[in-house]
Amino acid sequence: MARKFFVGGNWKCNGTVEEVKKIVTTLSEAEVPSEDVVEVVIGPPFVFLPLVKTLLRRDFSIAAQNCWVRKGGAFTGEVSAEMLVNLGIPWVILGHSERRLLLNESNDFVADKVAYALSQGLKVIACVGETLEQRESGSTMALVAAQTKAIAEQVMHWSNVVLAYEPVWAIGTGKVATPAQAQEVHFELRKWLHVNVGAEVAASTRIIYGGSVNGANCKELAAQPDVDGFLVGGASLKPEFIDIIKSATVKTTAKSE
């Protein structure tokens, strides 16, 4: 089953109005593969969502970087899934390692968020990944499987879920999982889905890689059979993000050969 390449840009807590306009202008002027080849989703901070939605080219989508675990109400500082739907924001990033580590979001809490966002009609980029200590202790797959299992126990339909494997030790550090390391975890994740969720879900669910992806390493990573795209951090604020989007053609070239 063909899986459309997916490139997400997570701007994290960055940007001013002027900077956002400049980035969006760069994206709008770029020549990139068609929507048939690559799905591009941009994740600006909450305060810039309406501005980016107004300015962004129509063939790119928008994601929020988080949302609350249930319906809105007396939850100061939070943003509900319903609010995002009301704004016309189709995607949300949930379970990012920074939220798991800095804000102590547990596997179950992330899974609850994923389930609620999906129930409100949002599409979800659900993040999993291990720390350096966990990798060095050989527990990468046990940890990533536990994170995925919590989500799988709450999700009935996977068509609106993209899994993002993000080795925490490679986020913003300049260290990158080698293509072989990325492929190994993606392969094992897909195998886990096959055994525990079903063959169709395993074949169709996109598993994307996040962790210091840049214009120099994206093509080699994109060439891996189980790497279906990227969730890009710092590089999504730079012109090289265009090169990362263009790496989708590695897949189409491989299919035609």
Q: Residue 63: helix, strand or coil by DSSP?
A: strand
Helix (H/G/I), strand (E/B), else coil: 60: strand
Among residues 33, 66, 25, 28, which one has the least CA distance to residue 47? Answer: 66
> Could you confirm whether 29 is annotated as catalytic?
no
Rounded to 5°, angle at Cα 68 from 63 and 73: 125
DSSP conformation letters of 126-164: EEE---HHHHHTT-HHHHHHHHHHHHHTT-S--TTEEEE
Q: Is 78 a catalytic residue?
A: no
Q: Is 138 left (phi over 0), alpha (psi -120 to 50) or beta?
A: left
Catalytic residue among 39, 105, 130, 166: 166
Contact 40, 245 (CB under 8 A): yes
Residue with tokens 């809490």: 109
Q: Let me know: does 46 contact 13? Beta carbons within 8 Å.
A: no
Which is the catalytic residue, given 96, 98, 105, 130?
A: 96
Give the angle 51-54-55 at the CA atoms, nearest 5°: 90
Please list the active-site residues. Answer: 96, 166
